[in-house]
């Protein structure tokens, strides 16, 4: 994912700047938003374990995308999805510590909030994912939903490929148990 | 130990479940409770403004440890999210509407921080339960956690009626809401980033005109990419939304 940190090269007279540079940041983000919002919301919901957190996380990703585009026009290259996914993971990992602090209050909220009207199969997998530790959940979603290689997952999560393999093995075991029991 | 065939079957099953779940979640409408509730809030979407004292030497409160400059300046430096100018203007306007324009003697810095719905609600609900319910009357319950909240902190010198009109080191907090379900619309309606603040910036006590300086000249100084979506925390580890309530110190 080298493109994430690349700066656009300065155009020589005979070169045209990439289309992204010619677009207003807001316009560029709107385009990405329209194309990727639903996918990002689904991804964020699965890695956080619930729709509300997933929507919050998705919005945070787009706020960050807007900030980057305004500071560095053309920062988001096409396709934008790998960058959005990477930022979602980064923000989700960073929010874990604070979320732990608020656990008691989260429990109160969870007890009073209604679940979305999804199919039983979707509810089962979302509930099962929610029971997994966050890092294991991210491994499973990245590997099996996003078809990322073990090395890519390891890079995204800042761990070794061996750790990812172990997490996936344990994740499969737990999911099988949880889904079969539901 | 699972054999390879079993692993592949399991993986295929998990892939299928995840794909179907992602399709359903991605294709579904936002959760109804997050879009239908009218809040009855003011059109300016400024839901709460409180000016309160924070003694610089008290060692408590959210101003401690912040990067607000200590020397008076005649400019307001925006150092945060690019969506902030309208929010800051709303905050400054709300300050003026408190009744006495002299309440703002000097603004040293402005910070705008994004706070997610749940975090905001948790901070408010806890404050509601333990401190002053009247200050949280706008917020009605967990299902009301709709929208995206930005906390606008103004650091500077203000006059507080509560302290007998004596100017001291104060911080002001404004909370502004952007509808959760309409980020796209919000972005579309957003004014250009670089704008002059002559209409809404407070006049410094020395009579010179205050200017809102967009952070184009340098990177943000007190909000980094790593902090996007992370609310500022006070010394007690709680989100700074606590600051909605007058400091008891």
Domain ranges within chain B, ordered by starting residue: 44-244
Cα angle B236, B237, B240 (rounded to 5 degrees) comes to 90
Whether the predicted pLDDT of A43 surpasses 70: yes
**The domain spanning residue A129 has which CATH number?**
1.10.10.10
pLDDT tens-place string over residues B11-61:
888 988 898 888 888 764 333 222 222 222 222 222 222 222 222 222 222
Cα–Cα distance for residue pair B52/B153, rounded to 1 Å = 12
Is there a contact between A85 and A165 (Cβ–Cβ < 8 Å)?
no
Q: Name the pLDDT band for A84 (thresholds 50, 70, 90).
A: very high
In sequence order, what are the beta bridge partners of B115?
A: B149
| Residue A173 pLDDT | 92
Assigned token pair, B13: 């099953």
Q: Do residues A107 and A122 both lie within one domain?
A: no
Q: Do residues A94 and A174 both lie within one domain?
A: no
Domain ranges, residue A127: 116-182
pLDDT tens-place string over residues B156-199:
555 555 555 555 444 545 455 544 444 444 444 444 332 233 22
| Residue A121 pLDDT | 85
Task: Compute the mean pLDDT over every residue in chain B, rounded to the nearest whole number.
Answer: 43
Distance of CA A72 to the CA centre of its chain: 22
Q: Do residues A97 and A168 both lie within one domain?
A: no
CB-based contact, A159 to chain B, within 8 Å = no
Q: Do residues A137 and A178 both lie within one domain?
A: yes
Number of domains observed in the structure of chain A: 2
| Residue B228 pLDDT | 32
| Residue B162 pLDDT | 52
Cα–Cα distance for residue pair A15/B21, rounded to 1 Å = 44
In sequence order, what are the beta bridge partners of B212?
A: B76
Which residue, among B30, B66, B82, B71, has the nearest Cα to B225 in the 3D structure?
Answer: B82
Quick count: other Cβ atoms within 10 Å of Cβ B67?
11
Packing angle of the helix pair A103-112, A81-101 (nearest 10 deg): 110
Whether the predicted pLDDT of A127 surpasses 80: yes
Cβ of B25 and A112 within 8 Å? no
Q: Tell me the shortest Cα–Cα distance from B221 to chain A, in angstroms.
A: 14
Q: Do residues A169 and A122 both lie within one domain?
A: yes
Which of A86, A113, A140 is the last residue before a domain boundary? A113
Cα–Cα distance for residue pair A148/A142, rounded to 1 Å = 6
Which of A96, A113, A130 is the last residue before a domain boundary? A113
Q: Do residues A124 and A105 both lie within one domain?
A: no
Is there a contact between A9 and A21 (Cβ–Cβ < 8 Å)?
no
Q: Do residues A36 and A2 both lie within one domain?
A: yes
Cα–Cα distance for residue pair B226/A149, rounded to 1 Å = 25
Cα–Cα distance for residue pair A165/B91, rounded to 1 Å = 50
Assigned token pair, B211: 């200017």
Sheet hosting strand B211-213, strand order edge to edge: B46-53, B167-178, B148-159, B104-115, B75-78, B211-213
Is there a contact between A41 and B24 (Cβ–Cβ < 8 Å)?
no
Distance of CA A9 to the CA centre of its chain: 28
Question: Which residues on B lie below 8 Å from A98 (Cβ)?
Answer: 119, 230, 233
Q: What is the largest CA-CA distance in chain B?
A: 79
CB-based contact, A127 to chain B, within 8 Å = no
Q: Do residues A75 and A146 both lie within one domain?
A: no
Q: Do residues A101 and A146 both lie within one domain?
A: no
Q: Tell me the shortest Cα–Cα distance from A126 to chain B, in angstroms.
A: 8
**Would you say the C-alpha torsion A8, A62, B62, A93 has a positive or negative sign?**
negative
The listed range with the strongest mean pLDDT (A146-150, B66-70, B87-91, B145-149) is A146-150
Cα–Cα distance for residue pair A143/A24, rounded to 1 Å = 34
Q: Do residues A94 and A146 both lie within one domain?
A: no
Among A residues 27-46, those touching chain B with beta carbons less than 8 Å apart: 29-30, 33-34, 37-39, 41-43, 45-46
> Running DSSP on this structure, what letter comes out for residue A33?
H
Whether the predicted pLDDT of A62 surpasses 60: yes
Q: What is the mean pLDDT of residues A57-84?
A: 82
Q: What 3 state SS string does chain B have?
A: CCCHHHHHHHHHHHHHHHHHHHHHHHHCCCCHHHCCCCCCCCCCCEEEEEEEECCCCCCCCCCCCCCCCCCCCCEEEECCCCCHHHHHHHHHHHHHCCCCHHHEEEEEEEEEEEECHHHHHHHHHHHHHHCCHHHHCCCCCHHHCCCEEEEEEEEEEEECHHHCCCEEEEEEEEEEEECHHHHHHHHHHCCCCCCCCCCCCCCCCCCCCCEEECHHHCCCCCCCHHHCCCCCECCCCCEHHHHHCCCCC
Percentage of residues in chain A having pLDDT higher than 70: 73
Which residue, among B238, B225, B226, has the nearest Cα to B131 in the 3D structure?
Answer: B238
Q: Tell me the shortest Cα–Cα distance from B181 to chain A, in angstroms.
A: 9
Cα–Cα distance for residue pair A66/A60, rounded to 1 Å = 10
pTM, two decimal places: 0.42
Cβ of B183 and A62 within 8 Å? yes
For residue A142, is the peptide bond before it cis, meaning its omega torsion is within 30 degrees of 0? Answer: no
Q: What is the mean pLDDT of residues A33-60?
A: 84
Q: Do residues A142 and A97 both lie within one domain?
A: no
B44 versus B88: which is more confidently predicted? B88
């Amino acid at each position: 994912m080298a493109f994430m940190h690349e700066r656009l090269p300065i155009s020589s007279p005979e070169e045209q700047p990439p289309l992204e540079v010619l677009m207003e940041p807001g316009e560029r983000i709107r385009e990405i938003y329209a194309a990727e919002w639903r996918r990002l919301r689904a991804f964020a919901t699965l890695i956080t374990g619930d729709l509300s957190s997933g929507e919050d996380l998705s919005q945070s990703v787009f706020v960050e995308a807007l900030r980057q585009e305004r500071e560095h026009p053309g920062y988001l290259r096409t396709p934008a999805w790998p960058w959005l996914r990477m930022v979602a993971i980064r923000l989700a990992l960073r929010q874990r510590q604070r979320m732990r602090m608020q656990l008691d209050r989260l429990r109160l909220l969870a007890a009073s909030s209604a679940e979305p009207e999804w199919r039983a199969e979707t509810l089962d997998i979302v509930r099962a994912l929610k029971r997994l530790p966050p890092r294991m959940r991210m491994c499973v979603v990245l590997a099996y939903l996003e078809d990322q290689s073990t090395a890519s997952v390891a890079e995204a999560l800042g761990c070794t490929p061996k750790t990812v393999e172990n997490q996936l093995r344990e994740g499969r075991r737990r999911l099988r148990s949880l889904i079969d029991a539901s | 130990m699972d054999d390879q065939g079993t692993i592949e079957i399991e993986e295929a099953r998990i892939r299928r479940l995840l794909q179907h779940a992602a399709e359903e979640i991605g294709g579904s409408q936002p959760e109804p409770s997050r879009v239908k509730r009218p809040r009855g809030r003011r059109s300016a979407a400024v839901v709460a403004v409180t000016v309160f004292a924070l003694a610089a030497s008290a060692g408590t409160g959210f101003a401690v440890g912040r990067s607000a400059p200590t020397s008076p300046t005649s400019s307001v430096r925006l150092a945060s999210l690019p969506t902030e100018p309208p929010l800051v203007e709303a905050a400054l306007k709300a300050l003026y509407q408190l009744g006495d324009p002299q309440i703002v003697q000097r603004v040293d810095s402005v910070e705008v921080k994004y706070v997610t719905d749940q975090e905001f609600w948790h901070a408010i609900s806890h404050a509601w339960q333990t401190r002053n319910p009247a200050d949280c009357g706008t917020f009605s319950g967990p299902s009301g956690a709709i929208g995206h909240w930005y906390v606008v902190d103004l650091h500077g010198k203000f006059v507080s009626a509560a302290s007998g009109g004596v100017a001291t080191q104060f911080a002001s907090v404004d909370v502004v809401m952007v509808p959760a379900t309409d980020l796209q619309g919000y972005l579309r309606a957003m004014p250009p980033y670089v704008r002059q603040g002559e209409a809404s910036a407070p006049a410094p006590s020395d009579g010179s005109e205050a200017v809102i300086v967009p952070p184009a000249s340098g990177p943000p100084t007190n909000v980094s990419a790593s902090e996007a979506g992370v609310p500022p925390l006070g010394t007690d580890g709680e989100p700074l939304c606590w600051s909605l309530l007058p400091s008891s110190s």
